[in-house]
A and B are shown apart, each in its own frame.
Chain A
Amino acid sequence: MSKFSIEADIRSKLAVVLGFSTIAVFIQHIYVLSFILIISIAAALLFGANILKAIKTTRNLWYLFFIIVILQSIFSRSGQALLAINGFPLITAGGVLKGGEFLMRVSVIVFSATIISTSNSREVVQGLVQLKIPYDIAFMVSVAIRFLPLLRSEIKDTFTAIQLRGLDLKKIPLKRRIRVYLYIFNPVVAGAIRKARGLSIAMEMRAFRAYRKRTSFLKLRLSAADYFIMVFTLIFTSAVFVMFYYFNFPAGII
């Protein structure tokens, strides 16, 4: 965590993420989304999130996002034609705007989600439990977070192993390459099932759910700063919605 980061409770971080994500999902306006993106990056940095690492980790997802942006630009046609073939508008101003909005929306969700990564998995579980989320569900969330890197490395090993069988993926036509990708699912899914089974046995052995009420050594306490963050997030989110839907600000572009 950087020297200038804010030490906050996971519940206030969850409130910030929820606020930004809600705006990103419900408001479809490039200016608002751009503004929220800047705010969410600033907030992530303030909470000590490693933005560059998050971009690197989600590198492959961004390629997918860009493909969706291009497809959206082509298939949503409205406004002035920017590129036309034989009079048929292929790329329009409205399409580009929609693509841009999509990119802004996923960026807000990804960057604001990095705020949660500044807390460890134990704090996340405890935060959810203290928010009255059942422990079983909270624990599942923490298991998912903990197993993601493991799953990633297993997929990578499997991908390497299938190529080492003598398959030069770059030289295989797309149709046959898809068949290769389907074979990758087998060891990955089988491994995940095996791990889940092993984990459930280990949990039973450690008396998971043996008692209805569960006590915890770790207790999270909200500080004045946390209350401020939560109230500010609520006011900010509400203000953005009121400005957009009630005062129609900013006005539509196209």
Chain B
Amino acid sequence: MSFIKFENVSFNYQHQKLLLSELELSIDSNSFTAVTGPNGSGKTTLGKLAMGILKPLSGKVLLEGRDISTMSLGKVGSKIGYLFQNPEVQIFANTVIDDLGFVMRIKNIEENEINKKIDTVLDFLNISDLRNSNTFNLSYGEKQRLAIAGILINEPQFLILDEPTTGLDIGRKKMLSALIEKLLAAGKGLMIISHDHKFINNFSGKVLKISGGKIYE
């Protein structure tokens, strides 16, 4: 069974022409998939449909065989992590440690377990030195890593990264590339939405191109 499945999915934004038309797509939970295409072709829309953030005009998006429209965003978020184009929208607290721990605190998880999880995820992303930093003072690359940390602390099986290379220099791109390799080695599935072909070609997997509302492999 596919992890994410698009069944005859069409989508358009209000008062606009059809952006995606009758898409059929299957993605496995531990695979690498890259989605490319020109600006405005519907790459981000595809990612948001896969997360259930947007609802299809017709057709169905299935997550582990279940219609995603019947699931809450909280439920989807515990299975798929989504990195927004602008990571700043997903940093919620003033300090790194609070940002990574507040959801668990709201869920009444033990403080010891919260700290253990935070340390593990910071260590995985090589940002342990930022543990007590103020989130306002972080660089763009650090904010992106913190946003990924916020996703990983939920232990999702799959991650969708929307234009993760935007605003990163060569050095930061290399760091991101190494992180993606590490995530794949850890058994996580990944979908990268990007028009950075050079970056995508670093990884082996499926490359999908969106053009004219259709998807091509």
Contact = CB atoms under 8 A, between A and B. Distances in A.
Interface of A: 154, 157-158, 160-172, 176, 179-180, 183-184, 186-187, 190-191, 194
Interface of B: 51, 53, 72-78, 81-82, 84, 86, 88-94, 102-103, 106-107, 136, 150-151, 154
Contacts of B51: 164
Contacts of B74: 163-169, 171
A59 to B, nearest CB: 14
Contacts of B136: 190
B91 A165 contact: no
Nearest to A187: B89
A197 to B, nearest CB: 12
Nearest to B154: A166
B106 A161 contact: no
B77 A163 contact: yes
B94 to A, nearest CB: 7
B76 to A, nearest CB: 7
Given A164-B77, A165-B154, A179 B106 contact: yes
B198 to A, nearest CB: 28
A162 B92 contact: yes
Nearest to B72: A168
Contacts of B81: 164
A191 B88 contact: yes
B154 A170 contact: no
Per CB-CB distance, the 7 closest pairs between chain A and chain B, nearest first, are A168-B74, A164-B77, A163-B73, A161-B90, A183-B92, A166-B78, A157-B89
Given A160-B73, A186-B93, A165 B103 contact: yes
A171 B71 CA distance: 13
Given A166-B77, A176-B106, A191 B72 contact: no
B23 to A, nearest CB: 21
Given A168-B75, A186-B93, A160 B53 contact: yes
Contacts of B75: 168
Given A157-B84, A176-B106, A190-B88, A183 B93 contact: yes
Contacts of A168: 72, 74-75
A160 B76 CA distance: 11
Nearest to B51: A164
Given A160-B73, A163-B74, A166-B78, A191 B89 contact: yes
A45 B151 CA distance: 48
Contacts of A184: 92
Contact of B89 (A154, A163, A179, A183): A154
